[in-house]
Amino acid sequence: MKSLQMKSLSCLAGVAALAVALVPVALMPIAAGAQAVVGSPAPAFTATDSHGQAHSLTEYRGKYVVLEWHNHDCPYTKKHYVSGNMQSLQKEWTAKGVVWFTVISSAPGEQGYVTDAEENAYLAEMHAVPTAVLMDPEGKLGRLFSAKTTPEMYVIDPDGKLIYEGAIDDRATPDPSDIKGADNYLNDALMESMAGKPVAHAYTRSYGCAVKYQ
């Protein structure tokens, strides 16, 4: 009897193992944040901007790098562009030597997707001044950093370490009037790090529209 029970258990284990083996790889979950982790070196990447120029993270070693996930149709993104807040931040920090990449991970046919020409026209219309706009229609860069919303901000220090991930500020609304008086987490992270201090809020929960991946 005991022998029969052991054989039954062995068969069940074999069936379970076969079932796991047959699960398509695409259905296997990928842990959020497994590749980009605050406090660790930022994952290396190379991406092409809206003018066809390639940018590699390694070429900006020694500089602060900001990544700003963007969707021009998202009300939360509009909040910071229609008000001029995002452009003001871009101008302020790039003048101080910070490299600022706006990243568009919207897939073709999804909200926020634009061609290179459309994005360049948008930059001119909005008077936006990032270092470059990285076009990521396949979502490779977005998934590498586990970007979840637009806007969502990341800060990489001159040593290549990710020191901030999360919301642009503490006012999770699409109302531009909320910008005044908000605690701007991006400013805090850059100012604290540049002063040689640890970033007080190295991770915050981002807000906005979900990134429209393929």
Q: pLDDT of 138-181, one tens digit each?
A: 999 999 999 999 999 999 999 999 999 999 999 999 999 999 99
For the chain, helix, strand, coil in percent to 5 are: 35, 20, 45
At 30, is the pLDDT very low, low, confident or very high (cuts 50, 70, 90)? Answer: very low
Q: What is the pLDDT of residue 32?
A: 36
Q: Are 89 and 190 in contact (CB under 8 A)?
A: no
Q: Are 131 and 156 in contact (CB under 8 A)?
A: no
The residue assigned the tokens 């970033």 is 199
DSSP designation for 67: E
Question: What is the average per-residue pLDDT within 186-211?
Answer: 98
β-pairing, 65-69 vs 99-104, is parallel
Q: What is the pLDDT of residue 58?
A: 97
C-alpha separations of 23 from 17, 18, 26, 124, 189 in Å: 10, 9, 8, 48, 42
| Domain-wise residue ranges, the chain | 31-210
β-pairing, 46-48 vs 162-166, is unpaired
Q: What is the pLDDT of residue 79?
A: 98
Average pLDDT score over the chain: 87
At 35, is the pLDDT very low, low, confident or very high (cuts 50, 70, 90)? Answer: confident
How many angstroms from the chain centroid is the CA of residue 14? Answer: 41
Residue of 46, 56, 42, 32 whose CA lies nearest to 156: 42
CATH code: domain 31-210 is 3.40.30.10
| pLDDT at 135 exceeding the cut of 60 | yes
Question: What is the average per-residue pLDDT within 90-116?
Answer: 98
What's the pLDDT tens digit per position in 67-82? 999 999 999 999 999 9
Can you say whether the dihedral through the CA atoms of 30, 208, 193, 199 is positive or negative? negative
How many angstroms from the chain centroid is the CA of residue 100? Answer: 13
Rounded to an integer, what distance in angstroms lies between the CA atom of residue 98 and that of residue 71? 22
Q: Are 116 and 52 in contact (CB under 8 A)?
A: yes
Count of CB atoms situated within 10 Å of the CB of 208 = 23
Q: What is the pLDDT of residue 7?
A: 39
**Structure token pair of residue 111:** 């909200």
